[in-house]
Amino acid sequence: MRITPLGAAGGVTGSCYLVECGPSRVLVDCGMFQGEPEADARNLECTGINPAALDAVVLTHAHLDHCGRLPILVKCDGVCGIAGGFKQKIWATPATVDLTRIILLDSANIQEADAERENLQRERSGEPGQVQPLYTVADAERTMELFAPLELTTKQEIAPGITIQFHESGHILGSASVSMTLRHAGVEKVVVFSGDVGPLNTPLLRDFQHIGEVIESADLVFCESTYGDRDHRGLDQTVEEFRGILEKTAWEKKKVLIPSFAVGRAQQIMYHIAELHNSGRCPRVPVYLDSPMASKATELYRTHSYLLDKYAKATGFGGDFTKLLPELTILNTVAESRVLNDSWDPGIIIASSGMCEGGRIVHHLKHNLWKKGVAIVLVGYMGSGTLGRKLVDGAREVFIQRTRIAVRANIHTLGGFSAHAGQTDLLHWLNSLATKRRQPRIALTHGEDMPRKALAGKIADRWRINAELPMRGNAIEL
Ligand SMILES: [Zn+2]
């Protein structure tokens, strides 16, 4: 029995593990590499394994860095010397199946548009040859046909000798950790994959499940370590700062722009605004969700309202944001979005992309960054080189669609809305497994070197376990 991390080992993107148990082979996640200099090349490498020889894939959640290479696995057309793609089942929770459809189709559309733009440029400059998209909408659709929904806590054999069970991980709608039982030649081992773990006590979604309370023990635990070296600023303080910004701009009758990821963050922000409005802690103003992808994702909170936490359930909103937040308008067409561009009326606009690199937020920024009193609230991570990062870094002017725009709006960065557990909550997640009489081996993945070393230090102090820090391709034998 052998498990090999094929991504997000020594980095945070491209999550993928190959599990080998006797003759059976399965993958856990098959995510896209993003942002790193070698990302494009690594995405093209397929997975370094033979997709046709895999018995199954298990997907922990719908984020692109966990599911984004699935269509490459499925279409595998022999570019890497391996012909014949993956044709077996992809196991995921029902909400993950629905969210992954939105995310993969969006990703495929972007891949196609990027390739088309690149080819047009080549043609104009007389450069020979054409580039192919990483995958197409048709590839993404074929991938979706392979999905098999599996409810949380239901046990399922997915390949000879390999049984899995999903456990709530509290990260995004449908997200799960996986416990996997491997049986071969009379030996049985249990491996746990954390997937991405959410922070405790955030609104809307349930907290992660303490897996040690449902399984007897584990032999090996893979734990994410994105924020293994620190805790986030308290959510209460962050919401209070957010309230102050909303109140001030409402009194001054100015706009608030919130660039946001379409899945997860946008819904969390709407939930906080609803709480502030409904408790009378801040004046009611119109709220606009201006992202087709976010509006599709928002609809899934109603379909899968059983995943909401007990407080969200107690409000009786059942995942219906328009009921919870009567001031909310969900904009779908470009024409509706343009009307907002031309208006000086107060209101809160939530639009993607999260890092301000594309999508409708770019137009809203172009029309508002130069206006005094407007508030831009940055609620997510901004990669280096992005327009969002320039705003965080205090740029006095920026270029948007080749137009120079002065930055006169107030820029606020709120760092407390993370969907990832900080150090204390990661240790909580590990606690129920690490305190068993038979302690597991622990391997830390999905983190840069600093955070995972810091978390390894805490694990050694607390449970006297020397956590392993595998790099991509380093197999762990059981
Ligand atoms: Zn994630």
Please give, one letter per residue, the 3-state secondary structure of the chain.
CEEEEEECCCCCCCCEEEEEECCEEEEEEECCCCCCCCHHHHHHCCCCCCHHHCCEEECCCCCHHHHCCHHHHHHCECCCCCECCCCCEEEECHHHHHHHHHHHHHHHHHHHHHHHHHHHHHHHHCCCCCCCCCCCHHHHHHHHCCEEECCCCCCEEEECCEEEEEEECCCCCCCEEEEEEEEECCEEEEEEECCCCCCCCCCCECCCCCHHHCCCCCCEEEEECCCCCCCCCCHHHHHHHHHHHHHHHHHCCCEEEEECCCCCHHHHHHHHHHHHHHCCCCCCCCEEECCHHHHHHHHHHHHCHHHECHHHHHCCCCCCHHHHCCCEEECCCHHHHHHHHHCCCCEEEEECCCCCCCCCHHHHHHHHCCCCCCEEEECCCCCCCCHHHHHHCCCCEEEECCEEEECCCEEEECCCCCCCCCHHHHHHHHHHHHCCCCCCEEEEECCCHHHHHHHHHHHHHHHCCCCECCCCCCCEEC
Output the CA 433–ligand 1 centroid distance in Å.
22
Same domain assignment for residues 178 and 293 = no
Same domain assignment for residues 156 and 270 = no
Residue 183: predicted pLDDT: 98
Output the CA 66–ligand 1 centroid distance in Å.
7
Same domain assignment for residues 45 and 77 = yes
What's the pLDDT tens digit per position in 137-183? 999 999 999 999 999 999 999 999 999 999 999 999 999 999 999 99
Can you give the CATH number for the domain in which 12 is found? 3.60.15.10
Judging by DSSP bridges, how do beta strands 375-378 and 410-413 pair with one another? parallel
Output the CA 95–ligand 1 centroid distance in Å.
14
Out of 362, 380, 413, a domain closes at 413
Same domain assignment for residues 195 and 301 = no
Output the CA 446–ligand 1 centroid distance in Å.
10
Domain count, the chain: 2
Output the CA 409–ligand 1 centroid distance in Å.
31
Tell me: cis bond preceding 353? Omega within 30 of 0 counts: yes
Output the CA 171–ligand 1 centroid distance in Å.
7
List CB contacts of 355: < 8 A, sequence separation 6 or more. 259, 380, 381, 382, 383, 386, 387, 388, 389
Same domain assignment for residues 209 and 350 = no
Same domain assignment for residues 138 and 15 = yes
Same domain assignment for residues 371 and 470 = no
Residue 68 φ/ψ, nearest 5 degrees: -65, -15
What's the pLDDT tens digit per position in 125-135? 998 888 889 89
Alpha carbon separation from 173 to 202, 306, 321 (Å, rounded): 13, 10, 15
Same domain assignment for residues 241 and 348 = yes
- The token pair that represents 110 in the structure block: 């972007």
Output the CA 62–ligand 1 centroid distance in Å.
7
Can you give the CATH number for the domain in which 380 is found? 3.40.50.10890
Q: Which domain holds residue 471?
A: 2-230+419-477
Same domain assignment for residues 273 and 407 = yes
- The token pair that represents 108 in the structure block: 């495929």
Out of 413, 435, 463, a domain closes at 413
Output the CA 196–ligand 1 centroid distance in Å.
5
Alpha carbon separation from 120 to 36, 114, 213 (Å, rounded): 26, 10, 57
**Which residues of the chain register pLDDT less than 50?**
none
Same domain assignment for residues 125 and 268 = no
Output the CA 57–ligand 1 centroid distance in Å.
17
Alpha carbon separation from 20 to 16, 70, 88, 135, 349 (Å, rounded): 13, 19, 16, 27, 48
Residue 27: predicted pLDDT: 96
Whole-angstrom Cα distance, residue 143 to residue 70? 7
Output the CA 447–ligand 1 centroid distance in Å.
12
Same domain assignment for residues 88 and 179 = yes
CA angle 451–378–11, rounded 5-degree value: 25
Residue 267: predicted pLDDT: 95
Residue 79: predicted pLDDT: 54
Output the CA 302–ligand 1 centroid distance in Å.
21
Out of 397, 413, 429, a domain closes at 413
Same domain assignment for residues 158 and 260 = no
